[in-house]
A and B are shown apart, each in its own frame.
Chain A
Amino acid sequence: MIAFLRPDGWDFPLFVHVLGAMALFGGVGAIFLLSLAGQRMPEQAVFARRTAFVTLLAVVWPAYVVMRVGAQWIFDKEDLDPDMPTWISTGIVVGDGGALVLIALTVLGWLALRRKPSVARYFAGLAGVYLVALVVAWWAMTAKPGA
């Protein structure tokens, strides 16, 4: 019900958060597709790995920052501490845990590109897992279990 009762002042922070989350989902989807293409087409593997790594740096990381800044902005306005509902906890776990996942993806992507091409499969796997985690996060944010 919070969507119906939301004060006007929350609209812009919510827009920033949602737009960042959607761009993050798209960016992670893009690197996942490129990783799969690289696995299935060995002759294009280097190109696919390079494009995935550039996409990670140029699209995924900026989208993550926008999503996280928007999340903190609206969280501060909602004043939900100390009784944190489950849906916020889920969002925080996926949101903050996402930074660790992106650091891991950055390291794996660099290794796959410069040192050890075989780690590209872990890059693809981790990107796929993160995509699923993002779906769980937007389910929690919309259905708001425990609200």
Chain B
Amino acid sequence: MDKYEWLLFLHVSGAFLLIGGIVVAWTFGIAAVRRELPSEIALLMRLTGAAAAAIGIGMVTTLVFGLWLVSYLDFYKWTDGWILAALITWLIAGPLGGAGGKRDKETRQFAERLAAEGDTPSAELQARVRDPIALALNLGSSLLALAILVLMIWKPGAGG
């Protein structure tokens, strides 16, 4: 494998971690909405933490190796529209996902506390699991990550 192939593999690996992690997080998030027992919700939200780690690593990896690829290849420029659009989208998606993840973490801690205190269903926990602000933040960051994938494949404005 030459340097280009390594850079591309690591860049794409970051994308797999990012989008794969988002799929895991949504899978567990939707499953949590359908549960009532705090212990079950706490388990799902703890596992979402592993997905969040994959998303974080994926975001950093795609950026680092993506920028490296741009500097390595002569025919792409930092100022290409699709690269700038991807960078701006990346910059917006990160904080959005981080804010959603922070609210999810608070819900997980609440679920863990309820699980330790008798594990009985709670209306407040149900409301927190369905938190529309967290949902909007997570949905927004997920759609932006998808938009980055679209930009990477179509490369609008790039020749060839």
Please list the residues of chain A having a beta carbon within 8 angstroms of any beta carbon in chain B.
3-6, 11, 14-15, 18-19, 21-23, 25-27, 29-30, 33-34, 37, 41, 43-44, 47-48, 51, 54-55, 59, 63, 135, 138-139, 141-145
Contact = CB atoms under 8 A, between A and B. Distances in A.
- Which of A5, A33, A43, A142 has the most chain B CB within a 10 Å cutoff? A142
B12 A138 contact: yes
Contact of A44 (B12, B40, B149): B40
Contacts of B92: none
B5 A143 contact: yes
A19 B150 CA distance: 10
A18 B153 CA distance: 9
Dominant SS at the B interface?
A: helix
Contact of A143 (B9, B22, B27): B9
B47 A34 contact: yes
A33 B75 CA distance: 41
B50 interface: yes
Nearest to B47: A33
Interface string B7-46: 0110011011001111110011001000000011001100
Contacts of A15: 149-150, 153-154
Interface in B126-159: 146, 149-150, 153-154
B136 to A, nearest CB: 21
A47 B16 contact: no
Contacts of A139: 9
Contacts of A138: 9, 12-13, 16
A138 B15 CA distance: 11
Contacts of B52: none
B54 interface: yes
Contact of A11 (B5, B21, B23, B154): B154
A143 B1 contact: yes
Contact of A26 (B1, B12, B19): B19
Contacts of A141: 12
Given A15-B153, A29-B54, A23 B19 contact: yes
